[in-house]
A and B are shown apart, each in its own frame.
Chain A
Amino acid sequence: MRGIFNRCRGVLAALWVMLPAVAQASGEAAGNIVVVADTRRVTGVMHYFADLYNSDILMFAIWTVVLTVAMGCTLGFLMDFIMSRTGLDLKSRKIVEH
């Protein structure tokens, strides 16, 4: 038992020594890189949003949240409508833990 404990202690000590080296090996932070959307290969709505990303990031962020909510709600209610056609009871369930 003591042998197993000593071995575990050895492994933990080795891990502790190795950790800083592993952390330092990680790459350079990407936060300072300026990304520009390529508007040459897209048209229509996608061109508009790619352009908005380049020119007004705050408006693009607002649009992202609004469109995500709209898409989530639309798909959620659409799937809800389709699922209600399956004949399953989707309004009640019994809670049993075990």
Chain B
Amino acid sequence: MDASWLYMYMPIAGVDIFWPGLVLIGYSVGVIGGFFGMGGAWMVTPGLNILGFPMAFAIGTDIAHIAGKSMISTIRHSKFGNVDYKLGFVMVVGTMVGIECGAQLVMYLERIGRIGPVVRWVYVVFLLLIAVMVFSDYAKAVKKKKQGIADGEKGTEGFTWYKTLHKINIPPMMHFKASGIYCSAWLPMVVSFITGVLAGFLGIGGGLLRMPALIYFIGVPTHVAVGTDLFEVMISGLYGAFTYTLKGRIELVAVFVMLTGAAIGAQIGTVATKYAKGYGIRLAFGSAVLCCMISIILKQFKFQTSAAVLILGTIGIICIYIMVIMFRGAAQELREKKNREQVTVRV
């Protein structure tokens, strides 16, 4: 049987690619990115590499795809009221300046010849810190819930560091309506600057760092943190797509094929946040971060195959978990809606 129709020629990378694989990667990362509020470069790049893209093309193509995918997810999240545009715009300034400072730091380390190990291990340490923070926050929240302690309308929360940070009264003070917070404008600017420096330094989009920073340091509810972070990823992704294209390392055809899958996946991931509690999202996010960290350690010690298997396995399991949340929640909502309509007809 001739299977050539399943392969598409990529004129810039000069390779024939199994296009259903591209659609599947786009779909999976759309589901996960829409649910966690991150780009997911750590998932897409190895996937593209496995399909046959040279590494340099995999990174550039991935960044452009992330920008388009984040746009689709942001549109859906904004309908739910999960995007705090005011906070997003305030943070964009800090993020951009931070990314540039991080890139300068990388160039300095490059000059003194310490770039490789420092960057990789700083990344691993930060991922470990995030995972530890997320899981200990969950443990604390469970403990508080058992004791019957609740934090306002949002329910029980573990770490509430943001309450201390909100006491900083440096003008201008700003009210972020969608997030329901009132704080100094310097707080999100400084947080976005620090996460931007780290993102620029580590050469990543920054969603992995910004999403927990929004929750723990600024006090944004998990759902709004997901939507607002996607808005940030969209802007930084478009900028990244432009610069990577100037370097000639992008395959536009692959971006479009992946976006068709991402369009469906992003809807599922985004709508699933409606049926998930904040801590459900945080826990799954912590697990993803942990797997990302282990895969980097494996890569560092040249266990490339094991790292790829771990990443693809993580993508598969988290994707199924999110799809179950979405379809169960949607089915229940439709059942309840039908019951309400039947009761109304009887009355």
Residues of chain A whose beta carbon lies under 8 Å from any beta carbon of chain B: 19-20, 22-26, 30-31, 34-35, 37-39, 41-42, 46, 49-50, 53, 57-58, 60-62, 64-65, 67-69, 71-73, 75-80, 83, 86-93, 95-98
Q: Enumerate chain A residues within 8 angstroms of B148, measured Cβ to Cβ.
A: none
Known contacts A76-B76, A90-B271; is A65 also within 8 Å of B300 by CB?
no
Q: Enumerate chain B residues within 8 angstroms of A83, measured Cβ to Cβ.
A: 76, 267, 271
Inter-subunit contact A95/B223 (CB<8 Å): yes
Q: Does B322 contact A (CB under 8 A)?
A: no
Residues 294-330 of B at the A interface (beta carbon under 8 Å): 300-302, 330
Distance in angstroms between the alpha carbons of A96 and B275 in the assembled complex: 10
- 6 pairs of residues in contact across A and B, judged by CB atoms under 8 Å: A37-B12, A69-B238, A71-B68, A72-B70, A91-B80, A93-B273
Binding stretch for chain A, among B38-46, B90-98, B152-160, B165-173: B152-160
Distance in angstroms between the alpha carbons of A26 and B80 in the assembled complex: 45
Distance in angstroms between the alpha carbons of A53 and B246 in the assembled complex: 9
Taking the closest CB of chain B, its distance from the CB of A35, in whole angstroms, is: 5
Inter-subunit contact A79/B300 (CB<8 Å): no
Inter-subunit contact B79/A80 (CB<8 Å): yes
Inter-subunit contact B222/A97 (CB<8 Å): yes
**Contact among B141, B253, B279, B333 for A89, CB-based, below 8 A:** B333
Distance in angstroms between the alpha carbons of A77 and B323 in the assembled complex: 21
**Contact among A68, A72, A95 for B224, CB-based, below 8 A:** A95
B82's nearest neighbour on chain A, judged by CB, is A93
Interface bracket on B? 35 or more
**Contact among A50, A64, A86 for B242, CB-based, below 8 A:** A64
**Contact among A42, A76, A79 for B11, CB-based, below 8 A:** A42
Inter-subunit contact A78/B263 (CB<8 Å): yes
Q: Does B346 contact A (CB under 8 A)?
A: no
Inter-subunit contact B121/A90 (CB<8 Å): no
Inter-subunit contact A93/B80 (CB<8 Å): yes
Known contacts A19-B121, A68-B67; is A96 also within 8 Å of B155 by CB?
yes
**Contact among A26, A75, A76, A97 for B221, CB-based, below 8 A:** A97
Distance in angstroms between the alpha carbons of A63 and B333 in the assembled complex: 42
B158's nearest neighbour on chain A, judged by CB, is A98
Known contacts A71-B68, A90-B80; is A37 also within 8 Å of B334 by CB?
no
Distance in angstroms between the alpha carbons of A55 and B143 in the assembled complex: 63
**Contact among A62, A73, A87 for B337, CB-based, below 8 A:** A87
Q: Enumerate chain A residues within 8 angstroms of B245, measured Cβ to Cβ.
A: 57, 60-61, 64-65
**Contact among B56, B67, B154 for A96, CB-based, below 8 A:** B154
Inter-subunit contact A61/B242 (CB<8 Å): yes
Taking the closest CB of chain B, its distance from the CB of A8, in whole angstroms, is: 14
Taking the closest CB of chain B, its distance from the CB of A53, in whole angstroms, is: 6
Inter-subunit contact A76/B334 (CB<8 Å): no
Q: Does B277 contact A (CB under 8 A)?
A: yes
Inter-subunit contact A98/B9 (CB<8 Å): no
Residues 206-238 of B at the A interface (beta carbon under 8 Å): 221-224, 234, 238
